A and B are shown apart, each in its own frame.
Chain A
Amino acid sequence: MGRRLKFNIFRYNPQDPDSVPHTDTFYLAETESMTLFIALTDIREEQDSSLQFDFCCRAGICGACAMMINGRPNLACKTLTKDLPDEITLMPLPIFKLIGDLSVDTGTWFREMNEKVESWVHTSKSFDPSADEERMDDAVAEEIYELERCIECGCCVAACGTANMRRDFVGAVAMNRIARFMLDPRDQRTEAEYFEIIGTDEGIFGCMGLLGCEDVCPKHLPLQDQLGILRRKMGWSAVKELFRFGK
């Protein structure tokens, strides 16, 4: 313990016409089990009250605090300073709209993504609130839950070379979302309908397999596996169409 940490923090307030993007340096004495959340709060309270950053749950559940930590996207609230070198550089996530300093608006992006992949169960059955809940196989429920754990933090999008180069690319998080609904027996969408959403160069065929997403996802979602499964499914779906004459 007893390290003196040097923080290089990106500063820019798009609301303020006089603000220019730059880096501010802060020094802080490291304390026992200090997280970046604690460090940033300390800096804001003791050194610069104008510093902007987002936190909500402080427990790696809400996804609000994602930022570029020494170049890699991660959740600030679950990153311990003891795992980092003496010099820590913090930048906002790229791609998302900058609100100010380290704070970005992931909400708009994710809302649009969810609308694009129609992230809800499509069913023609009407909901009967008094009936028993429909039963689901345990194994299927587990599988769905595994993909449902995504907290929409945006790390996978920020780390994706394709998403950084091409703003129309939907990102691993969207593919994971689609994969989740494909597993769900309640969703009545057909393979062709899924293909229409994701079987494009903005979707699964745009993914170049760089696996930045897989390697940074703080919730360790099986993104690599889901991308592989999806590419194969969508690929076969297109090939099957090729051999279906005069449908």
Chain B
Amino acid sequence: MAVDTTTYVPAPSRTSAYLDWLQMLTGAGLILFMWSHMILVASVIPTPRLMNAIAHFLEATYMAQVGGPIIACTFLLHFVLAARKVPFRVEQQSTIWKLSRQLRHTDTYLWLIQAVTAMVILIMGCIHMWTVLTDLPITAAKSAARIQGGFWLVFYLILLPMVELHVGIGFYRIAVKWGFARRKDRKSFKKLETYLTAIFVAIGLMALVRFLTLSV
């Protein structure tokens, strides 16, 4: 219920536009980061020596020490920006769930998945970043030891699909919202999104198996 009880007119402002840009750019930046991140993790599949070499390069050039916290800040900024859109009020929550169920509409469901995975990533991503960045240098042996402990295996088995779903849907959503994907491209973009998500989950799983079977 909105009742206009005043002649007060808010000053025109460009804030919404800037925040939307930032939300998109931080999202796109994080997508690029996740793809690079996958290169690092997947490099253990051919040989752990390759992963160690990449990790060493990242530290020798201070990319891990400086880049890590920058990514963490981007991550938090993205969360704050995107959270403007998350239905935190109970009434909004029940509205959007009811509507999605009623409509049986894939894109509305995809958005719900994005909002739910976001909350999981927020918590698990922070834990993961803290663990890795407070225990530099990154080596294949240390990662393997963690994963073989069992706890981190389960942790990553949850985090991996959550991140890839969020990244895949985010990729599609940026394309649609900013008009990169037009009506005629929508189907193929959605397919691309599905393939990307599936491929990245597959690579991630392969890397996990490799860590599990690595002798430490």
The chain A residues found within 8 Å of chain B, CB to CB, are 68, 71-72, 94, 159, 161, 164-168, 195-196, 199-201, 203, 205-212, 214-215, 222, 224-225, 227-229, 231-232, 234-235, 237-239, 241-242
* Closest B residue by C-beta to A232: B179
Distance from A23 Cβ to chain B, minimum over Cβ atoms (Å):
14
Distance from A199 Cβ to chain B, minimum over Cβ atoms (Å):
5
CB atoms of B17 and A235 under 8 A apart? yes
With a cutoff of 8 Å between Cβ atoms, the chain A residues found around residue B178 in the complex are 228, 231-232, 235
CB atoms of B96 and A208 under 8 A apart? no
Distance from B210 Cβ to chain A, minimum over Cβ atoms (Å):
37
Q: State whether the Cβ of B47 lies closer than 8 Å to any Cβ in chain A.
A: no
With a cutoff of 8 Å between Cβ atoms, the chain B residues found around residue A222 in the complex are 183
With a cutoff of 8 Å between Cβ atoms, the chain A residues found around residue B92 in the complex are 165-166
CB atoms of B102 and A71 under 8 A apart? yes
Distance from A103 Cβ to chain B, minimum over Cβ atoms (Å):
19
The chain B residues found within 8 Å of chain A, CB to CB, are 1-2, 12-14, 16-21, 84-85, 87, 92, 95-96, 99-105, 107-108, 111, 173, 176-183, 186
A182 to B105, CA, bound (A): 31
CB atoms of A228 and B105 under 8 A apart? no
CB atoms of A238 and B14 under 8 A apart? yes
A208 to B105, CA, bound (A): 14
> Which of B1, B177, B180, B186 lies at the interface centre, i.e. has the most chain A CB atoms within 10 A of its CB?
B177
A-B pairs with the 3 shortest C-beta distances? A228-B179, A238-B17, A71-B102
- 10 A-B pairs besides A161-B96, A214-B183, A224-B183 with CB distance below 8 A are A161-B108, A165-B92, A195-B14, A200-B16, A210-B108, A222-B183, A228-B176, A231-B177, A231-B178, A238-B17
Distance from A24 Cβ to chain B, minimum over Cβ atoms (Å):
19
Among A164, A196, A224, which residue has its beta carbon within 8 angstroms of that of B176?
A: A224
CB atoms of B108 and A68 under 8 A apart? no
* Closest B residue by C-beta to A230: B179
With a cutoff of 8 Å between Cβ atoms, the chain B residues found around residue A166 in the complex are 92
With a cutoff of 8 Å between Cβ atoms, the chain B residues found around residue A210 in the complex are 105, 107-108, 111
> Which of A161, A168, A200, A214 lies at the interface centre, i.e. has the most chain B CB atoms within 10 A of its CB?
A161
A166 to B1, CA, bound (A): 10
CB atoms of B95 and A165 under 8 A apart? yes
Whether A205 touches B19, Cβ cut-off 8 Å, given contacts A211-B176, A224-B183, A231-B179, is yes
A234 to B20, CA, bound (A): 11
Distance from A73 Cβ to chain B, minimum over Cβ atoms (Å):
8
* Closest B residue by C-beta to A72: B103
With a cutoff of 8 Å between Cβ atoms, the chain A residues found around residue B180 in the complex are 228
CB atoms of A159 and B105 under 8 A apart? yes
With a cutoff of 8 Å between Cβ atoms, the chain B residues found around residue A199 in the complex are 14, 16-17
A7 to B101, CA, bound (A): 19
Among B85, B107, B176, which residue has its beta carbon within 8 angstroms of that of A212?
A: B107
Distance from B204 Cβ to chain A, minimum over Cβ atoms (Å):
26
A241 to B17, CA, bound (A): 11
* Closest B residue by C-beta to A224: B183
Residue contacts A-B, CB under 8 angstroms, 12 given: A71-B101, A71-B103, A159-B99, A161-B96, A167-B2, A195-B14, A196-B12, A206-B16, A211-B186, A212-B103, A228-B177, A228-B180
With a cutoff of 8 Å between Cβ atoms, the chain A residues found around residue B12 in the complex are 195-196
